[in-house]
């Protein structure tokens, strides 16, 4: 499974599992920049399904040796949600197997064409209701892509969204879901993915969970559009992982 769970703490000590990510190569995890704004050491666990059952799957824990948020990401009081994307380098290479296999990166054409043929899936260990408890079991939900013009309309109606997307979607943000199928608190950083036929990977990761309005309501979730950042991702990942 390409899905990773990120935590704060030491591998040998107590770890607080906080957010999601996606394995995209032997040593790199793709996640949201807002998920890694911490001074504590970061760790990544791969192969996880049920956090409460240490014997259910063969999991591996990796230390994060390098955290690279996008250079245009703005945090703090001036924060917007543009460029909400980051890369994490692991302390060693991952041995690929069915439960820890990387996702492929899509082109913009892939995102649009595949999104018309099949329904994207969002996955995570976040809460199952707004303000509720986080799930121990990896949850998945279908999240159909929403027309950008409808997303712009949603942004224009809410001050919270206008503050973090003051210039609209700018071709860098996807929105998907709604009608009871949605991301929730604790899912930030995880993947919006499309099934893919092929030997190299099972999914294309087309989006990174960024923000939303409530959970599971009529409003879509908002995702960083991965295809808008391919040059930045590949310039770091493939340079270090030939």
Q: For the residues 161-166, what does the mean pLDDT come to?
A: 87
Task: Indicate whether 183 and 119 sit together in one domain.
Answer: yes
Q: Is the pLDDT of residue 125 over 80?
A: no
Question: Does one domain contain both 69 and 115?
Answer: no
What integer pLDDT is reported at residue 70 of this predicted model?
A: 95
CB atoms within 10 A of CB 133: 9
| pLDDT of res. 207 | 92
**Mean of the pLDDT values across residues 82-88?**
93
Name every residue whose Cβ is closer than 8 Å to that of residue 64 and which is 6 or more positions away in sequence: 6, 29, 41, 42, 43, 44, 88, 89, 90, 91
Residue 241 has pLDDT above 70, yes or no: no
Q: Are residues 145 and 186 in the same domain?
A: yes
CATH number, position 174: 2.40.10.10
pLDDT band at 140 (very low <50, low <70, confident <90, very high): confident
| Pick from 144, 205, 227: nearest CA to 2 | 205
Residues 120 and 95 both lie in one domain: no
Per-residue pLDDT at 87 exceeds 70: yes
218 and 194 in a common domain: yes
The whole-number average pLDDT for the span 145-156 is 87
pLDDT average, residue stretch 69-86: 84
Instruction: Answer yes or no: do 19 and 85 share one domain.
Output: yes
Q: Are residues 223 and 236 in the same domain?
A: no
Q: CB–CB of 222/170 below 8 Å? A: no
| pLDDT score recorded for residue 52 | 61
Mean per-residue pLDDT, 139-167:
85
Q: What is the pLDDT at residue 1?
A: 47
Domain shared by 31 and 45, yes or no: yes
Half-sphere exposure at residue 7, Cβ-oriented, CA atoms within 13 angstroms = 21
pLDDT score, position 231: 92
Same domain, 139 and 55: no
Distance, in Å, from the CA atom of 180 to the CA atom of 163, rounded to the nearest integer, reads: 25
Of the ranges 101-105, 178-182, 231-235, the best mean pLDDT one: 231-235
Q: What is the pLDDT of residue 116?
A: 63
Give the range of the structural domain holding residue 97, as residue numbers without chain letter: 3-102+232-240
- Average of pLDDT values for 1-17? 57
Least trusted range by pLDDT, from 53-62, 67-76, 155-164: 53-62
Q: Do 178 and 209 sit in the same domain of this protein? A: yes
Lowest mean pLDDT among 32-36, 95-99, 125-129, 224-228: 125-129
Contact 1, 99 (CB under 8 A): yes
Looking at the structure of the chain, the number of domains it has is 2
Q: Is residue 199 very low, low, confident or very high in pLDDT (cuts 50, 70, 90)?
A: low
What DSSP assignment string belongs to the chain?
Answer: --EEEEEEE-TTS-EEEEEEEEE-SSSEEEE-GGGG--SS-EEEEES-SBTT-TTSS--EEEEEEEEEE-TT---GGG--STT--EEEEESS----BTTB-PPBPPPHHHHHHHHHHS--EEEES-BSSTT-PBPSBPEEEE--B--HHHHHHHHHH-HHHHHHSTT--TTSEEEE-BTTB---TT-TT-EEEEE--SSS-SEEEEEEEEE-SSSSSSSPEEEEEGGGGHHHHHHHHHHH--
Do 48 and 126 sit in the same domain of this protein?
no
Average pLDDT (174-192) is 73
């Amino acid at each position: 499974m390409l899905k990773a769970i990120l935590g704060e703490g030491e591998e040998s000590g107590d770890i607080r599992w906080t957010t999601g990510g996606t394995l995209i190569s032997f040593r790199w995890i793709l996640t949201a920049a807002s998920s890694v704004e911490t001074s504590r050491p970061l760790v990544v666990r791969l192969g996880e399904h049920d956090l409460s059952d240490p014997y259910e799957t063969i999991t591996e824990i990796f230390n994060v040796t390098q955290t690279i948020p996008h250079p245009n990401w703005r945090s703090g009081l001036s924060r917007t949600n543009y460029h909400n994307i980051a890369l994490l380098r692991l302390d060693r290479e991952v041995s690929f197997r069915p439960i820890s296999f990387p996702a492929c990166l899509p082109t913009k054409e892939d995102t649009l064409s595949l999104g018309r043929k099949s329904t994207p899936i969002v996955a995570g260990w976040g809460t199952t209701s707004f303000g509720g408890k986080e799930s121990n079991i990896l949850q998945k939900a279908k999240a159909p892509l929403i027309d950008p013009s409808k997303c712009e309309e949603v942004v224009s109606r809410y001050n919270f969204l206008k503050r973090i997307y003051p210039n609209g979607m700018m071709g860098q943000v996807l929105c998907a879901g709604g009608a009871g199928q949605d991301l929730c608190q604790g899912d930030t950083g995880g993947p919006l993915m499309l099934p893919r036929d092929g030997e190299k990977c099972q999914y294309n990761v087309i989006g990174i969970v960024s923000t939303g309005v409530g959970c599971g309501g009529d409003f879509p979730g908002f995702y960083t559009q991965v295809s808008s950042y391919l040059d930045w991702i590949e310039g770091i990942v493939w340079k270090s992982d030939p």
